[in-house]
Amino acid sequence: MPEQLKIFVSYSHEDKRWLERLQVHLKPLVRKGKVDLWDDTRIKAGQRWKEEVQKGLAAADVAILLISADFLASDFVVNDELPDLLAAAAKEHLLILSVIVGRCRFEQTRSLSVFQAVNDPKRPLASIPTAKRDDVFVRLTERIDEALSSREAEHEAELPRAVLAPATQEAVPPPPPPAEKPTETAQPEVEEQKTPPKRKKARKTAPPRAKPPPAALPKTWENALGMSFVRIPAGTFEMGLSARHTVTISQAFYLGVHTVTQGQWEAVMGDNPSSFKGKNRPVEQVSWRDVQEFIRRLKAQEDGGDGYRLPTEAEWEYACRAGTTGDYAGDLDAMAWYSDNSGGETHPVGRKAPNAFGLYDMHGNVWEWVADWYGDYPSGAVTDPKGPESGSDRVVRGGGWYGPARYARSADRDDGAPGLRVSNLGFRLVRTGL
């Protein structure tokens, strides 16, 4: 069995009520031995307080930050806890999950705001009804579940074949001679793809994916602003990480070759809100609502018509995969700007290698807004899904310059309030009506 997921909670003592509520929501995982939840209430009389905090920090896999004005005002939090947490996150050793519990300068605190908060910073826990508060904590536990699933998958994939094979044989006992032969779950493909044997077996029963015909290169189209679009063919694929399901994209569509740049944004909107300036860098610090206004004005510039929209989440993942089935559509360092190689900033679009559809920066550089509300995936096969009919947050995809490699996986997803603006979040468009 994999080790427990060790969670460190950083908070101000003025916010202890939120710590207690967090403990209630994580209690089922603690009871099952899935997580080890550490906060300073575990320090016993006579123990050296600062040394115990440092031990908890050093052992953590996940850090939950309960952020408020009191949290940001705490000298111990800012000087003794946050530097170690941020350093570990930058090296991909730690997952940071921020919950905004009170009104504060979170969005103006760049070292923290680069990590997308679990809830809308403009709607902290203290300002919303009790039921909505519980929704935020449930969303937090879902992120913990994802981290646990990833940990368990890595543990099983890394087991030696001699350990994996007996488990398979016990499930379906074969006659003695064949039992000594390696099963499909013990083939080298499992180790190369870091995929659990059971998941590999399940994929064999899924309908075949439709890949782009090798002899038919996608056609491209460019608008007056120089925004290029490539034709993505219709097809079927397996979508998602743990909740995998078969999705059919029934019609071809045109998707932006690049994320929208600052130069293109300024030509339409007349301003440039981005933190990292450069006309060929992706525009960021734009909310989902800002993007809708950009689309409205871009359509008006082109005399109306069908115009433009954000891709659905399913269209985005299908286009990102470009016929591939692994975590990434190719070599990540060759295709993506992320925490290991970005130098702490965005980069001009199109500087890395494209995927098989000719799309650039689908992995890394900036996260990308998509059209869907964030919610559970359907349980069965679907055609042209558009996500839930309503919700509180929109889906974002692709990972960004600050995040670790796992955030840039083709199937990784996160969410943000429609009004969220951060320096690692942009978008690309679908061109309709062609």
Which residue type, as a one-letter code, is found at position 351? R
Q: What percent of the chain has pLDDT over 90?
A: 56
Q: What is the mean pLDDT of residues 395-424?
A: 94
Q: What is the mean pLDDT of the chain?
A: 83
Query: Model confidence over 166-216: pLDDT tens digits?
Result: 333 333 344 444 444 444 333 333 333 444 444 444 443 444 444 444 434
The total number of structural domains that make up the chain: 3
Shared-domain flag, residues 265 and 410: yes
Specify if 86 maps to a domain: yes
Same domain assignment for residues 10 and 121: yes
DSSP annotation of 79 reads I
Q: Which residues contact 321 (CB under 8 A, 6 or more apart)?
A: 237, 329, 355, 410
Q: Which residue has the tokens 């509300």?
A: 373
Q: What percent of the chain has pLDDT over 70?
A: 82
| Residue 66, pLDDT above cutoff 60 | yes
Instruction: Flag whether pLDDT at 424 surpasses 70.
Output: yes
Q: What is the pLDDT of residues 266-324, one digit of tens each?
A: 999 999 999 999 999 999 999 999 999 999 999 998 876 578 999 999 999 999 999 99
Q: Has residue 213 been placed in a domain?
A: no
Residue 273 sits in the same domain as residue 328: yes
Residue 131 and residue 34 share a domain: yes
Q: Are 41 and 69 in the same domain?
A: yes
**Could you tell me if residue 396 is inside a domain?**
yes
314: in domain = yes
**Are 131 and 170 in the same domain?**
no
Query: Residue 41 is part of a domain; what is its CATH number?
Result: 3.40.50.360
Where does a domain end: 173, 203, 233?
Answer: 203
Query: 60 with 31: CB under 8 angstroms?
Result: no
Q: Band the pLDDT of 59: cuts 50, 70, 90.
A: confident
| Pair (309, 174) in one structural domain | no
Let me know whether 130 and 174 are in one domain.
no
> In angstroms, rounded to a whole number, what is the distance separating the alpha carbons of residues 361 and 337?
8
My answer on whether 167 and 150 are in the same domain is no
178 & 277 share domain: no
Phi, psi values for residue 139, rounded to 5°: -60, -40
Q: Give me the mean pLDDT over the 234-258 stretch.
A: 94
Task: Summarize pLDDT for 83-115 with one digit per residue, the tens.
Answer: 888 887 776 678 889 999 999 999 888 888 877
Kindly state the average pLDDT of the residues 324-347. Answer: 95
In terms of domains, do 420 and 298 share one? yes
Is residue 13 in a domain? yes
Same domain, 50 and 194: no
Structural domain of 11: 5-155
